[in-house]
Structure 1
């Protein structure tokens, strides 16, 4: 039975919620929690070879891919080494969920065009400040994301026969 006092959402809002549910950091949120992000979301179109942000830039926004592909790269000497390709329904710039962080990789558009949703860091922090439950759910997802990355890193290290030293991570 429908609750007559529950908030109703437009078809466009429902489409936004369906899209956000694809993204790890929003998977635990209910519609009313995701709705807090809608006013902060900005659509932006990027083109092939356009840099979304550079490594070491301040982490000023979370990016959600609606269409297209973005390559995440790290600077190795004078080259960019690809670490991950991000596609529709995925996010990058995840450390913008944390306070006072800098980018650890460079994000470059590899498709002809990419439609991204940009959520500014300040808006995320305002939502976190006003809703500790939303922050807790998203931080849990972020922790799982980083844990999965660590698992992949250690697996890759084990399979690389020690071409790099893990203790360098902590120096």
Structure 2
């Protein structure tokens, strides 16, 4: 039986919760916790070849892809090398969950258009400050995300042994 005192949500909000829960960083959150993000979210449209942010920029927002494709690139000797292609239902700018972080890659729109949901860093930090459980759940997801990236990096290194030295990561 449904609790008569629990909040009911509009169908638009429920659709947004479903969308958000499909994204790694929100997968552990309940509807009540996801609802905390709704007032901070806004949609933004981008066109092909538009840069969402550059490497080394301050990490000012988390981006959720509603529609379109985004390439995450790194600058290697004046060339942009794609390290990952993202599409609907994926997020980027994940280091905006951390304080005082800078972007590690450039995010570029590669579809004709992209529709992104933007969640500003300051709003995320306000939610984290007032709700440590949300912060703990999202930081656990972030740690898992970074762990998976490290595993891919090390696998790639093993497969291309000799092209670079992992020791350089720690110098």
If the TM-score is normalised by the length of the shorter chain, which range does it land in?
over 0.9
| 1:161 CA displacement | 1.7
Q: 1:152 corresponds to which residue?
A: 152
Partner of 2:150, secondary structure, is helix
Partner of 2:62, secondary structure, is strand
Q: 1:75 corresponds to which residue?
A: 75
Q: 2:14 corresponds to which residue?
A: 14
Q: Distance in 1 between matches of 2:44 and 2:84?
A: 21
What TM-score does the superposition give when structure 1 sets the normalisation length? 1.00
Matched, 1:143 2:143: yes
What is the Cα-based RMSD across aligned positions, in Å?
A: 0.3
Q: 1:5 corresponds to which residue?
A: 5
Please list every run of at least 4 consecutive aligned residues from structure 1 whose deviation after the TM superposition is greater than 2 angstroms. Answer: none
Q: 1:111 corresponds to which residue?
A: 111
Q: Deviations over 1:31-74 (max 9, x none)?
A: 00000000000100000000000000000000000000000000
- Give ranges in structure 2 of 5+ residues lacking alignment: none
Q: 2:65 corresponds to which residue?
A: 65
Q: Distance in 1 between matches of 2:162 and 2:126?
A: 43
What TM-score does the superposition give when structure 2 sets the normalisation length? 1.00
Partner of 1:84, secondary structure, is strand
Q: Distance in 2 between matches of 1:28 and 1:95?
A: 18
Matched, 1:99 2:92: no
Instruction: Pick which of 24-33 and 158-167 moved more.
Output: 158-167
- Give ranges in structure 1 of 5+ residues lacking alignment: none
Q: Distance in 1 between matches of 2:23 and 2:135?
A: 15
1:41-56 mapped onto 2 (5 Å cutoff): 41-56=41-56
Partner of 2:63, secondary structure, is strand
Q: Distance in 1 between matches of 2:36 and 2:161?
A: 47
